[in-house]
Amino acid sequence: MTPCGHLRRSRRPPGAVSIFQRVLRRCLWTVSVGLVLLVFVSAAAPSDVLTFPPSQDLIDRILAAARRADLTSVAMLIKFRIGGPETTPPACVFQGVLHVAPDHTALTLAHWTPTPLCWTLERYVLGRLFADRDHANTLLPSFRFDVIGEKLVDDHPYYLVYGTALAPRNDPRWMIGWVDYDRGLIVDGTIQYAWGAVNLMQDYGLIDGVWVLVHQDIDVPRFTASLEISYSEYQFMSHP
């Protein structure tokens, strides 16, 4: 099996592009943005009494947290479910390593479920998705962000950030989520596309003084599809 990040650009077989591919491509795209900086959920009403930091301050903190990682590789366990709750056995399981370079990434899979659906996802979705790290740079300039809410979690401030697309026909249309201000981390969020929403929840761990993703739960309610991703074995760039 060749690394997914280096798949040949061959002609797709008839019927290869299914609704599962479209859903997973959008769903996993959310994950990729999440690896570089990730995405913004919940709702809170703005208050005239509260004073919120500028939205650009929060964006800068998220980007700074991502840059501090200096990640070179991370092991990934991806579970895809369709048509059932989280307790349902996954339809596809992928296990591999995401290799990170300054200008690109490449996902190398060691194991995956040998079914036609999983083969299609492995061949046409996963590798091409993680081959590009520039999702954040292309995503953020196309949105206007506002801070609309605040809450305290263990005495730490969290702010609710809402982003609307600048272009009327842009897809995704909007995004919203809670940001841990002190750490510059997005803890949960929703992205709204023309066809439906993608919901995201994230857990972090502290490794070598850097906060990194350890678990993601991604849900696509319209298609009763979900992804569960676990991260481990982080490797960082060594500095002289």
**Residue 8 located in a structural domain:** no
**Residue 97 located in a structural domain:** yes
Q: How many residues does the chain have?
A: 240
Confidence of residue 15 (pLDDT cuts 50, 70, 90): very low
**Residue 135 located in a structural domain:** yes
Question: In this structure, what CATH number is given to the domain that contains residue 64?
Answer: 2.50.20
**Residue 59 located in a structural domain:** yes
Please name the residue that has the structure tokens 């959310």.
Answer: 30
What is the edge-to-edge ordering of all strands in the sheet holding 156-165? Answer: 105-112, 92-100, 71-82, 225-236, 210-220, 197-207, 185-192, 174-180, 156-165, 143-153
Which residues, at least 6 apart from 53, have a Cβ–Cβ distance to it below 8 Å? 147, 159, 181
- What pLDDT digit, counting tens, does each position of 186-240 carry? 999 999 988 889 899 999 999 888 889 999 998 988 888 888 999 999 988 875 4
**Residue 4 located in a structural domain:** no
**Residue 78 located in a structural domain:** yes
How many domains does one find in the chain?
Answer: 1
Domain that holds residue 96: 18-235
**Residue 6 located in a structural domain:** no
**Residue 13 located in a structural domain:** no
pTM above 0.85, yes or no: no
pLDDT for residue 210: 85
pLDDT for residue 22: 54
Confidence of residue 164 (pLDDT cuts 50, 70, 90): very high
Is the distance from CB of 40 to CB of 177 less than 8 angstroms?
yes
